[in-house]
Amino acid sequence: MNNPIRVLVVNNHTIERKGLSSLLNAMSSLAVVGEAANGAEMVLMVHKSHPDIVLIDCDILQQEGANFVWRIWEAFPGIDVLILSRSEDFQVTLELDSDKLSFAYKDLAPEELARTIREIVIE
């Protein structure tokens, strides 16, 4: 792949967000183009950085709801969203019904997460 996949990392825990960004930036096929700690920051960063995919922690959806995800899809309908969760409890996402939405567990190995991101974006 010539151009790396552009990733926006959204997580309200600084150490998790920075760690995930570092891991993804170490993958040659991926480039973290921004980080956000909440939904409002995510919307701003999507407009600034134009990612291919937004990697978002499910905790943010549970705390803030999914309205901000719909806001980015209204402005940029081609952006994929990958929700990371600790469990199969994706109840908050029932209000999200899109072919641009995917899920993964937080306990994935970094290489597996990178492969999942590539598969989602390249589909």
Structure confidence by residue, pLDDT tens digits, 32-51:
999 999 999 999 999 999 99
Find out whether 20 and 55 touch, Cβ atoms under 8 Å. Answer: yes
Read off the pLDDT band of 52 (50, 70, 90): very high
Spatial distance between the Cα atoms of 18 and 1, rounded to a whole number of angstroms: 25
When pLDDT is averaged across residues 9-38 and rounded to a whole number, the result is 96
- The reported pLDDT for the residue numbered 105 is 87
SS3 87: coil
Task: Name the CATH architecture for the domain at 5-122.
Answer: 3-Layer(aba) Sandwich (3.40)
- The reported pLDDT for the residue numbered 96 is 57
Spatial distance between the Cα atoms of 4 and 31, rounded to a whole number of angstroms: 6
Reported as a single tens digit per residue, the pLDDT across 76-110 is: 988 999 999 887 655 555 455 567 888 888 889 99
Q: What is the largest CA-CA distance in the chain?
A: 37
When pLDDT is averaged across residues 56-64 and rounded to a whole number, the result is 86
Question: Which one-letter DSSP state was computed for residue 27?
Answer: S
